[in-house]
Amino acid sequence: MRSNYRRHFLYAGILVVVFTLVIQWILDLSLPLPAIQGSAQSAAIDNLIGQHVWLIAGAGALVLVIMGYSIVAFRARPGEEDEEGDYFHGHYGLEIAWTVIPLIVVAIYGVIGTQVLAQVTAPQDNEMTVEVEGLQWSWRFAYPGHGEFQTTEMVVPVNQPLLLSMSAVDVLHSFWVVEWRVKQDLVPGIVTELRVTPTEVGEFQLRCAELCGLRHAYMLADVRVVLQEDFDAWINEQLE
Amino acid sequence: MLMQLGLTRGLIYQAAGTVLGMVVAMVWRLLAGMELWDQEVVFVVGGLVGGFSFMWGVGAIDDWLEWCRGKATPLVHGPPRDKPAWTRYFSTDYNHKVIGIQYSVTSLLMLMIGGSFALIFRAELAQADLQFLGIGMYNKLIGLHGWAVIAAILLGVGGMANYLVPLMIGAEDMAFPRLNAFAFWINVPGALLLLASAFLGGFDAGWTAYPPLSTQGSVGYQFLFLAIYFVGLSSILGSLNLLVTILTMRPKGMDLFRIPIFCWAVLATSLIQLTATQAIGTAFLMGLSERALGMGFFDPEGGGNPILFQHIFWFYSHPAVYVFVLPGLGIISELLPVFSRKPLFGYRWIALSSLAIALVGFLVWGHHMFTSGYSQYLRIPFMIATLLVAVPTGVKFFSWVATMWGGRLRFPTPMLFTLGAISVFLLGGLTGPILATVASDLYLHDTYFVVGHFHATLFGGFVFPFCAAIYFWFPKITGRMYNETLGKLHFYIMTPAFWLMSIGQMTVGTMGMRRRIVDYDPTLGGGLIEARHLETTIAAFLIGLSILIMIYNLVTSAEIGVRAPANPWRSRSPEWQIPSPVPEHSFAAPLQVVGEPYDYGLEEEYVVMDESQAGHTQAH
Rounded Cα gap, residues B193 and B427, in angstroms:
34
Give the CA distances from residue B126 to residues B121, B242, B532, B541, in Å, rounded to whole numbers and listed in that order.
9, 43, 9, 11
Which residues in chain B (212-251) have CB-CB distances under 8 A to chain A? 212-213, 216
Closest to B365 (Cα-Cα) out of B355, B356, B374: B374
Say yes or no: B433 contacts chain A, CB-CB below 8 A: yes
Say yes or no: B374 contacts chain A, CB-CB below 8 A: no
Rounded Cα gap, residues A186 and B307, in angstroms:
11
ipTM: 0.96
Exposure string for B501-521, b = 16+ CB within 10 A, e = fewer: bbbbbbbbbbbbbbbbbbbbb
| B596: CB partners within 8 A, 6+ apart | A89, B258, B343, B347, B602, B606
DSSP element (H, E) containing A140:
strand A138-142
Q: What pTM did the predictor assign? A: 0.96
Residue B571 has φ and ψ, to the nearest 5°, of -85, 155
| Beta-carbon count within 10 A of B215 CB | 24
For domain A128-239, is the CATH number 2.60.40.420? yes
- A70:B407 CB<8 A: yes
Say yes or no: A235 contacts chain B, CB-CB below 8 A: no
- A30:B506 CB<8 A: yes
Say yes or no: B442 contacts chain A, CB-CB below 8 A: yes
Rounded Cα gap, residues B198 and B145, in angstroms:
11
Ranges in chain B, pLDDT < 70: 614-620
Residue B35 has φ and ψ, to the nearest 5°, of -65, 145
Distance (Å) from the alpha carbon of B309 to chain A's nearest alpha carbon? 12
DSSP string, B219-264: THHHHHHHHHHHHHHHHHHHHHHHHHHHHH---BT--GGGS-HHHH
Strand order in the sheet with A183-186: A154-157, A220-226, A202-208, A173-177, A183-186
Say yes or no: A96 contacts chain B, CB-CB below 8 A: no
Contacts of A205 in chain B (CB under 8 A): 521
Which residues in chain A (162-201) have CB-CB distances under 8 A to chain B? 170-172, 174, 176, 178, 181-185, 187-190, 192
User: Beta partners for B379?
Assistant: none
Mean pLDDT of all residues in A73-89: 90
Distance (Å) from the alpha carbon of A146 to chain B's nearest alpha carbon? 27
What's the confidence (pLDDT) of residue A57?
97
CA A141 to chain CA centroid, Å, is 26
Burial environment of residue A13 by CB neighbours within 10 A (0 to 12, 13 to 18, 19 or more): middle
CA B340 to chain CA centroid, Å, is 28
Say yes or no: A85 contacts chain B, CB-CB below 8 A: yes
Give the CA distances from residue A145 to residues A129, A140, A152, A154, B580, in Å, rounded to whole numbers and listed in that order.
8, 16, 18, 16, 80
Say yes or no: B41 contacts chain A, CB-CB below 8 A: no
Distance (Å) from the alpha carbon of A34 to chain B's nearest alpha carbon? 6
What's the confidence (pLDDT) of residue B79?
86
Say yes or no: B40 contacts chain A, CB-CB below 8 A: no
Rounded Cα gap, residues B509 and B264, in angstroms:
36
CB B151 within 8 A of CB B194: yes
Closest to B494 (Cα-Cα) out of B158, B111, B84, B120: B111
Closest to A110 (Cα-Cα) out of B565, B426, B389: B389
Distance (Å) from the alpha carbon of B477 to chain A's nearest alpha carbon? 25
Exposure string for B338-353, b = 16+ CB within 10 A, e = fewer: bbbbbbbbbbebbbbb
* CA triple A223-A226-A230, angle to 5 deg: 125
Residue B217 has φ and ψ, to the nearest 5°, of -70, -170
Say yes or no: B119 contacts chain A, CB-CB below 8 A: no
Rounded Cα gap, residues B340 and B62, in angstroms:
47
Residue of A nearest to B447 (CA): A209
Alpha-helical regions (H) of chain A: 2-30, 40-73, 92-121, 228-239
Alpha-helical regions (H) of A78-182: 92-121
Q: Is the pLDDT of residue A3 over 60?
A: no
What's the confidence (pLDDT) of residue B619?
41
Q: Strands A220-226 and A154-157, how do they pair?
A: parallel
Rounded Cα gap, residues B402 and B391, in angstroms:
16
- B340:A64 CB<8 A: no
What's the confidence (pLDDT) of residue B616?
52
- B407:A85 CB<8 A: yes
* CA triple B416-B602-B412, angle to 5 deg: 15
CB B91 within 8 A of CB B48: no
Domain ranges for chain B: 1-75, 94-613
Rounded Cα gap, residues B546 and B464, in angstroms:
12
- pLDDT tens profile A214-229: 999 999 999 999 999 9
Mutation pick from A94, A135, A169, A187 vs chain B, by most beta carbons of B within 10 Å, is: A187
Say yes or no: A111 contacts chain B, CB-CB below 8 A: no
Rounded Cα gap, residues B552 and B118, in angstroms:
21
CB B344 within 8 A of CB B601: no
CB A94 within 8 A of CB B402: yes
Handedness of CA B196, B202, B208, B209 (dihedral sign): negative
DSSP element (H, E) containing A208:
strand A202-208
Rounded Cα gap, residues A167 and A135, in angstroms:
9
Mutation pick from B341, B396, B403, B502 vs chain A, by most beta carbons of A within 10 Å, is: B341
Residues in chain A: 240
- Which one-letter amino acid corresponds to residue B596? E
What's the confidence (pLDDT) of residue B615?
58
| A84: CB partners within 8 A, 6+ apart | B341, B342, B408, B600, B601
- pLDDT tens profile A133-178: 999 999 999 999 999 999 999 999 999 999 999 999 999 999 999 9
| Beta-carbon count within 10 A of A189 CB | 17
- pLDDT tens profile B205-233: 999 999 999 999 999 999 999 999 999 99
Contacts of A114 in chain B (CB under 8 A): 380, 383
Angle between helices B187-196 and B177-185 (to 10 degrees): 10
What's the confidence (pLDDT) of residue B208?
95
CATH class name, domain B94-613: mainly alpha
What's the confidence (pLDDT) of residue B612?
74
